[in-house]
C-alpha cells in the first residue's frame, strides 16, 4: 500500500469518527486552528497529516492515534470490513465484553453471539 493510499485510509477513518460524534469539519478545524477546507483535504487524503497533528485530532475525537490505522493490516493492505456494524460498534462491544469480570458469564455471552451468527437450518426464519 502506497503512502498516498494510507493517507486516504487515515482520512476516511478521521471522517468516520468525526461524523459519528456529530462534529462538523468547521468545529474540528476551529479547535485545531485550521480551516474546514484543510480538514476536508485531510479527510480526502489530499494532504498528509503530520504526527503531531494526528495526535491532536485523535485526542479531540477521543481515540488513540492508532485508531486511524485500524483498517490497515501489518502487510499494508486494507483489512476486511466487518460484515455488519461499524468498527466503532465492534470496538464498543469488545470494550464492554472485556469488562465482564466473571469468566463463565463471558463464555455465555460468547456462546450467545456465536448462536446469533450461526447459519439457520434450511427453512427456518429468524424473527
pLDDT tens per residue, range 52-91: 999 999 999 999 999 988 877 655 544 445 555 566 777 7
CATH assignment, 3-69: 1.10.260.40
- Beta carbons within 10 angstroms of residue 67's beta carbon: 21
User: How is the chain split into domains, by residue range?
Assistant: 3-69, 87-117
| Poorest-pLDDT segment among 4-8, 31-35, 87-91 | 87-91
Buried b (16+ CB within 10 A) or exposed e, 25-59: beebbeeeebeeebbebbbebebebeeeebebbbe
pLDDT score at 92: 80
* Stated pTM of the model: 0.59
Amino acid at each position: 500500500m502506497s503512502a498516498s493510499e494510507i493517507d486516504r485510509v487515515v482520512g476516511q477513518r478521521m471522517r468516520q469518527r468525526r461524523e459519528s460524534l456529530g462534529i462538523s469539519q468547521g468545529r474540528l478545524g476551529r479547535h485545531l486552528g485550521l480551516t474546514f477546507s484543510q480538514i476536508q483535504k485531510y479527510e480526502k487524503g489530499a494532504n498528509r497529516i503530520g504526527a503531531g497533528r494526528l495526535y491532536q485530532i485523535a485526542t479531540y475525537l477521543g481515540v488513540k492515534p492508532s485508531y486511524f490505522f485500524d483498517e490497515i493490516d501489518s502487510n499494508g493492505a486494507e483489512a476486511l470490513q466487518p460484515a455488519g456494524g461499524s468498527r466503532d460498534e465492534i470496538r464498543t462491544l469488545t470494550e464492554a465484553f472485556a469488562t465482564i469480570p466473571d469468566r463463565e458469564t463471558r463464555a455465555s455471552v460468547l456462546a450467545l453471539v456465536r448462536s446469533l451468527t450461526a447459519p439457520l437450518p434450511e427453512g427456518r426464519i429468524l424473527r
